[in-house]
Every structure is written in C-alpha cells, then in structure tokens.
Amino acid sequence: MATRYAKRLQKELMELQVSPPTGIRVEEANDLSRWVIGIDGTTGSLYQGEKFSLQFRFNDGYPLEAPEVIFIGKPPVHPHIYGNGHICLSILYDHWSPALTVLSICLSILSMLSSCTEKVRPVDDSVYVSRAVGKSPKDTR
C-alpha cells in the first residue's frame, strides 16, 4: 500500500505489537493492507473463554475511509453479528471517523460483545447472509 498513510498504519501496528491490551493481539500482518487481529471474550461476559479472529482490510482511502472489518473463522453468536462474519456497527460505516484506530475498533467490538445479554443471531440473518455472498459488508447495507 503505497499511500502516504502507510506510515500511520505502520505506527498503529507497532503500538499494537509492542503494548497490546489484554484480550487483543495481532495474529497476522504480513501485508499492511490485511491484518488479522485476535480478540478474547472478556471475563464475566457471555463470551468468556471464547476466541475470535477479526480481519481488517485497508484500502487506499484509509484513514479517511473505514477499514473493512469482518469476523473470520467462527463468528460469535450475537444479535449484531451475522453468520458470515459481517458486523453491524455504525463506526465501521456511517459513523467512521479518521481519528478512530484499529485498537479503538477492537475495543468497540469487545464492548459490543461484552454488553450482550442474549446469544442470538440477528433476526434477518439468513436473508442477509444469502444476499451478501462474496460481497463486502460495506456494499450490503
């Protein structure tokens, strides 16, 4: 990714690798445009003991444009997370701000998981998943 914001991504990655907060770790970042971040369900929440992987894709628009963030592997069962790993979280789409970071997205998602009171899929899950095959979550809203 040869944009002038590559430096920012490099900085964010460095901070995440040097001092990762508990429950968040960089699993894969060989290429600056695709990272895999592992998150652990927080203790005391419904997801305690579970591990999830988030895939971040950065295009040239980052950080003016939000990264594409989805769960890969087995996504958590949550009313705002679809079976295909797509996440319904406003800061990833309409409410994105360039002052947000990979870390703040991870914290938001962890917070979203932690505040969950019932492990269910979204009501329109099957409809959405069949409609969103092979598409970016940014194009399916």
Partner 1 sequence: MSDDVENNHEQNSVPNDQSLNTTDDISTVRRRNLNRVNESSDKNEQPQPMIEEIDETTSTTTTTSTTTTNNNNNNKNTNPETKEQENTEEEKESNNQFECNICFDDVSEPVVTQCGHLFCWSCIFQWLQYNASQQCPVCKAPVTEEKLIPIYGRGSNATDPRKNRSIPQRPPGRPEQVRPNQNNSNRTYPDVFGANQWNTQFGNVSISAGFGLFPGLFGLHFYQQNNNNNNSINNNGRPQNSADFESLLLSRIFFAIGIIILFFILVN
Catalytic positions, written as ranges: 88
Q: Which two tokens stand for residue 89?
A: 């979280």
Nearest CB to partner 1, comparing residues 73 and 98: 98
What single string gives the DSSP state of each residue in 67-111?
Answer: PEEEEESS---BTTB-TTSBB--GGGTTT--TT--HHHHHHHHHH
Per CB under 8 A, 38 contacts partner 1 = no
Are 16 and 102 in contact, with CB atoms under 8 Å apart?
yes
Nearest CB to partner 1, comparing residues 57 and 121: 121
Per CB under 8 A, 59 contacts partner 1 = no
Q: Which two tokens stand for residue 110?
A: 């962890």
Compute the residue count for the chain.
141
Candidate ranges 27-35, 50-58, 69-77, 109-117; the one touching partner 1 (CB under 8 A): 109-117
- For the CA atoms of 113, 126, 69, 71, the dihedral, rounded to the nearest 10 degrees, stands at 60
Per CB under 8 A, 32 contacts partner 1 = no
Per CB under 8 A, 112 contacts partner 1 = yes
Residues that bind partner 1 in the complex, under the rule CB under 8 A: 4-5, 7-8, 11-12, 19, 21-23, 42-45, 61, 63-65, 79-80, 82, 88-91, 94-95, 97-100, 104-105, 107-108, 110-112, 114-115, 122-124, 128, 140-141
